[in-house]
Structures are given as structure tokens and as C-alpha cells.
Structure 1
């Protein structure tokens, strides 16, 4: 028998009424209260990266010019008669456009590479690029799934490598080219350590639940 007023006594009662949610209030933040833009000391890419892009552009230009010349020489006499009916300025215009494109592709790295840069911080990685349309990408380490280090034969000839950062969820990786091979490897190791430190360690209850689940199988 439980005495009246005993704290161990249970009284029948109806279901507890849910607490009323707190009133939603979305206050406006004045523009002056926003945090200021942080000054970032951007690190330039490797000094040999522009030269590596120029060499690649020269190789592509030689292939394009050689392919165009071979195609012109391989035209049969019947097709040459048809081409002779075309405007006389068409062929020089095409070769001039190809020449301008080749020269521009060789000079473009001297303009684009100095405007690229990166910063490795404690919690994220920043990368900027673009000449006319500029962009700054941020890669928080707690949102990065894995990284990948890769280099082409031409990259290895100049001692360079590219680091691709893949976001969590299986998104497309964002490559950061123009890094020294040693620098890229150090960044990959650092980001991998930050990813591992961001993963919460397994608790004893999780281990016990996993062991119990394996025992039930």
C-alpha cells in the first residue's frame, strides 16, 4: 500500500499536452552590423605554371596547324574544283583566324595565371581565379569528402601537380592546378588530416550497438 502523498504513487492522467512552440521572430540585421571583409594574403601559383601552359598551347597549335595543312593537301582534285568556286578570301580568313587563336592561346597564360591564387587556412581552403569573370571558391574541410593528386607528363616535366577537392555527397571535384608537387602533397596530407579530425569518434554505446547487431545476425 502506498501512502497518500508518497512520491512513488502514480496517478492516472491523460496524455501530456504538447508545449506551444515559441513564437518565431526573424530580426533584421543592419548593414553596419555585418562582419567586415577579411583581408586574405593570397599565395601565387608556381612560377613555372605559366610556362607550362604556354608549352601546352604551343603543342596544341602545332597539331592544329599540321592537321589543317594535311587536310588541305589531302583534298582530292574533284573537291579542289569545288573549293575554287568558293570566295577567294575564305581560305586566308580561316588560316588567319587559326593563327590568331594560336597566338592568343600562347599569350593568355601570362594574363590569367597572375590573377589566380590560393590560401590554406585552419578550417578551409580558398581559391581565386578569373580575369573578366572573377570567382573565389571556399572549401570547408568539414564539407570535403576526399582529395586527389594528379599530374600529366608535362606537369611532371615542370615539377607541378594539381590537387582536386571533392565535396561530401559525391559532387564533382574542383581542381587547383599550378601547384608545386611538394606543396600539393603537403596540402593533400594536411586536408586529409583535417577531414579525419572532423569525423566524430565512435562512442562506447555505438560500439556496443554494433557488437549487439553482429551478435543478432
Structure 2
């Protein structure tokens, strides 16, 4: 009804009108105490031989580093080596000490890092945790996964290990979980593939139903 004097009444700004929720939609608030805690997840450890596999790889790389350093030092002419020793007598001992510390640390690091990694396969997603100082927990919902891939290096196969890569839908880099047993990795790949297919089946059926209804209405 118009106000007195013929002036129209106040109108609601369309930008301020909240959109109506779909029928049957209810978004209740969840109290913080009701949220599940990460510590309640039963984390599965990686394969027991994974730490040793990383140590063997670190030893092989350390041998290559030492051999490369020795070859580089021998490639320098004796005159130049003498000049460097006179001007910078501390340089060679410092470099070899730094290389030795790095090699030893790279061999010991898997014993610290691997026990802090783990994974959980749930009905609708896959969880993976890693990190020592900077820890992270990643979740891979199966309805957002496009495909999976198994791969292993010759050293992985020597220890009976495989890696599982999970690629998100829409492209992008995949996330890799290393240190799985070959049988476990294959079972996880099959399970995730089945979950992807089951998630895609209802969408395909609804698209076919909508297309059929559209053709019937023509």
C-alpha cells in the first residue's frame, strides 16, 4: 500500500535480500567439541623396509658425491692446489667436513622422518601425514580424484615397495605416497578406482535421465 501523500513505501534493496535456501536444505552449526580430532585417527605406518630403502639410496648418493668431489679436486692442477692451500688453507678441510656431515645426516634422517609418516584409507577419502618440524595432514576425497598411478624405481622393487600417486580432477600435479608395500599399494589403487567409478555412476545416470526427459519433451 502506498504511503500518505502518494509517496511509495520503503522498498527492500534487492542486493540485501538473502536468497532462499533450497527445499529440504538445512545447514546446522557444529560445536567445536563435536568435531573429530586428528589424534583419534588410527594411522597406518609405512612399510618397515622403507626407512632402510631410503638409507641405501642416501649411501649411494653419498658415494657419488664423494667420488665427484675427489674427481674435481684431482682435476685441479697441482700448482693451483698449492696456491689454494697457501691462500685458503681452511677451504678444503671445511668442504670435506661439510660434505661428510651432509652424507651422515642424509643416512640418519630416514630413521627420524619415516616413523612420523602415515596414512588412513577411509570410506570417502584418503589421509596422509608427514613432516618432522613442519607437519602436514593431506586429505584426498575420492569424489575429487580423477585417477591413480603406481610406480616404483629399481631400488623400490628390490625392497618390495611401490608408490601411489593420486591425481585430482581437473588436472594439476598429483600427490604421491611413498613407502607402501606392493600388495598394499595395488589394493589401495583398486579400492580408490572403485570409489571413483561409484561416485561417477550416479552423475552419469542423472545426466542420461535429464537427456531422456529433454528428448521426450520435444
**TM-score normalised by the shorter chain: which range applies?**
0.7 to 0.9
Question: Which structure is higher in helix share?
Answer: 2
Aligned to 1:206: 211
Distance 1:131 1:33 in 2: 27
Residues 1:69 and 2:70 are matched in the alignment: yes
Distance 1:33 1:43, change over 3 A: closer
- Structure 1 residue 185 displacement after superposition: 0.5
Normalising by the residue count of structure 1, what TM-score does the alignment of the two structures yield?
A: 0.80
Ranges in structure 2 where 5+ consecutive residues have no aligned partner: 1-13, 22-26
* Unaligned residue ranges in structure 1 (runs of 5+): 1-17, 211-217
Q: How does 1:35-184 map to 2 (within 5 A)?
A: 35-37=35-37, 39-184=40-185
Deviation per CA, 1:121-150, whole angstroms, max 9, x where unpaired? Answer: 000000000000000000000001111100
Q: Deviations over 1:24-45 (max 9, x none)?
A: 89x9958556524251000000
Q: CA, structure 1 residues 34+153, in 2 after alignment: closer, same or farther (shift >3 Å)?
A: same
Number of aligned residue pairs: give it. 191
Query: For residues 36 and 162 of structure 1, do their structure 2 counterparts lie closer, same or farther at Cα, with a shift above 3 Å needed?
Result: closer
- Give deviations 1:82-128, integer Å, cap 9, x for gaps: 42343211110110000000000000000000000000000000000
Separation in 1, partners of 2:84, 2:55: 35
Q: CA RMSD in A?
A: 2.7
